[in-house]
Amino acid sequence: MTDTIKIHVLHTGLVKVDKALPFHGLYRNPLAFTGLVRSEANQVTLPVSSYLIEHPKGLVLIDTGWNKLVRTSNWRELGPQVQINTAYLPAGWAIDERLAALGYRPQDLDYVLLSHLHCDHVSGLKHVAAAKHILVSEPEWRVANRLPLVYLPHEWRGVNVQTYRYAQARVGPTGEAYDVFGDDRVLQVHTAGHATGMSATLARGGDGRYVLLAADVGYANRSWEEMLTPGICTNRKAAITSLGWVREMAHDPNCIEALANHNTTTDPHVITLTY
């Protein structure tokens, strides 16, 4: 038993998208995020983050980055979605390669928690399919298997994905969360808007200080400073509510760090909380 919670911020890919995808409202063309009829000058390349949490009760991975297949063919992994995302995965950046560098094998993972099932978060899932539990929220699972144009179900085909239900938790924009270890320290907080069942991860230390891994509630930390929701949203109103919650959490003095998954100025690093 250790008396700390350690969070490794990992980069498990890069994604090139139209500038309008991260920041809705900054660009006038309502379909700009698709990248269709938009030039290379409108493209930005962002990191794709995953997070490894070493908790006294188990090892948790949040999201999985890109599959190694994108190194040879974006088309085979993404199909028509290459219109929206171009994937890059430098050598050593795949999630299983990142884990190996830290001395872990996929089967050492107690939980893989998927914030949501968009391709840049779940593409690498097959590299960690040997994990003991792979979990996503029930509402996200339901929607993702019904919208094959927005999601890529082949990315989880053949993988044993289980679902959890959000419960009343007095935290988050809707007051709903899933407590992973039942100790109130690692919570998957329901943050709908960008994706229906999306969760942000709230990691809390024994001293009340916390780290918020905000998934795609905002693409960058700038998103909650300027209240810019992502270009892709299933529910814009819910997205603004979720972003407002992240903003308040990020500005709280007890917040050690709030991290947007695709923030360009976030480098890989380690954060330690007291358990």
Interface positions with Zn ion (CB under 5 A): 118, 216
CB of 215 to Zn ion, least distance (A): 7
CB of 230 to Zn ion, least distance (A): 7
Tokens representing 128? 């960690």
- Give the nearer residue to Zn ion in terms of CB position, either 59 or 228: 228
CB of 257 to Zn ion, least distance (A): 20
- Give the nearer residue to Zn ion in terms of CB position, either 55 or 194: 194
Other Cβ atoms less than 10 A from the Cβ of 84: the count is 20
DSSP label at residue 96: H
Element (H, E) at 45: strand 43-55
Q: Which residues in 149-188 are b (16+ Cβ under 10 Å) and which e?
A: ebbbeebbeeeebeebebeebebbbbebbbbbeeeebbbb
CB of 115 to Zn ion, least distance (A): 8
**Rounded CA gap, 198 and 130, in Å?**
23
